[in-house]
Amino acid sequence: MSGDKAGLPDKDGVRFLDAGDSALIVEFGTVVDPALSARVVAFERALGHAELPGIIETLATFRSVLVNYDPDRLSRAQLIETVEHLLGDDIEARTSARSWRLPVCYDGELAPDLALVADSTGLKPAEVIERHVADDYHVYMIGFSPGQPYLGGKEESLALPRQTEPRLKVPAGSVAMAMALTTIYSLTSPGGWHVIGHCPVRLFDLAWQRPALLAAGDKVVFKPVSPREHELITGEIAAGKYRPEMAEL
């Protein structure tokens, strides 16, 4: 692989793409796939461990890592030299992740699109819920809003296109689906995904040491809860007494 040939892949298919004069995209492939995502996450963490002066921020996406850097402290050539060295290491061995079990209420006004999803997929609402909670999800990336995860599962029967008319306001905590992905809105915002439930767990808080609860590479499973359980959990969160179930992988 040569750092002078921007955009040309190396033998492993990794490409360097410039994003202006102070950002570099390290692209690992062209598909949305958990194995490729694992390479992306492992590389981003390895680059962080390298503590290279001049790197401002990194962002893992579905298939690439965006590296923002200060060209006055770190040249493009120096950055690519470090990247090439890291790509030659067994960076997958450095990957660590967490498994989260998050409560979701799939009921009433908290699930305004559940009936539509059921009708569009030929399933009953209870079957949509059953399949959604039976799946296990991979966090591909955090984006759109701070702390908002893009989650991929294996249940293809629930895949639907986005809504033709997005809502102007989707409440924070809304669990929504589009294509073959699920997301949890971290903040109240516009959105065009199908809302099928609500998770009361806060996903983003600037007061936390790590402001985003979830990270790329984490795993998520959903635990269905009743409206009453949802209300109790919401109260415990407000009182600072609730912690979501989490295990290190």
Q: Where residue 120 sits, what CATH number does that domain have?
A: 2.40.100.10
What's the pLDDT at 89?
A: 67
The Cα–Cα gap between 200 and 243 comes to 11
Tell whether 68 and 102 lie within a shared domain: no
Q: Render each residue's pLDDT in the chain as its tens digit; 249 residues.
A: 444 445 544 546 799 999 999 999 999 999 889 989 998 999 998 898 888 899 999 999 999 999 999 999 999 999 999 998 888 766 654 556 899 999 999 999 999 999 999 999 999 999 999 999 999 999 999 999 999 999 999 888 999 999 999 999 999 999 999 999 999 999 999 999 999 999 999 999 999 999 999 999 999 999 999 999 999 999 999 999 999 999 987
Number of domains present in the structure of the chain? 2
Domain range spanning residue 46? 15-94
What's the pLDDT at 208?
A: 93
Tell whether 74 and 156 lie within a shared domain: no
Tell whether 87 and 156 lie within a shared domain: no
What's the pLDDT at 9?
A: 47
**CATH code, domain carrying 55:** 3.30.1360.40
User: Is there a contact between 58 and 24 (Cβ–Cβ < 8 Å)?
Assistant: no
DSSP track, 155-194: -GGG-BPPPSS-EEEE-TTEEEEEBTEEEE-SSSEEE-SE
Tell whether 169 and 226 lie within a shared domain: yes
User: Is there a contact between 79 and 24 (Cβ–Cβ < 8 Å)?
Assistant: yes
Q: Which residues of 215-249 are buried (b: 16+ CB within 10 A; e: fewer)?
A: bbbbbbebebbeeeebeebbeeeeeeebebeeeee
Residue 9 lies in a domain: no
Tell whether 56 and 135 lie within a shared domain: no
The Cα–Cα gap between 168 and 66 comes to 29
Closest CA to 77 of 149, 16, 141, 163: 16
Residue 2 lies in a domain: no
Q: Is 206 exposed, middle or buried (0-12, 13-18, 19+ CB in 10 A)?
A: exposed
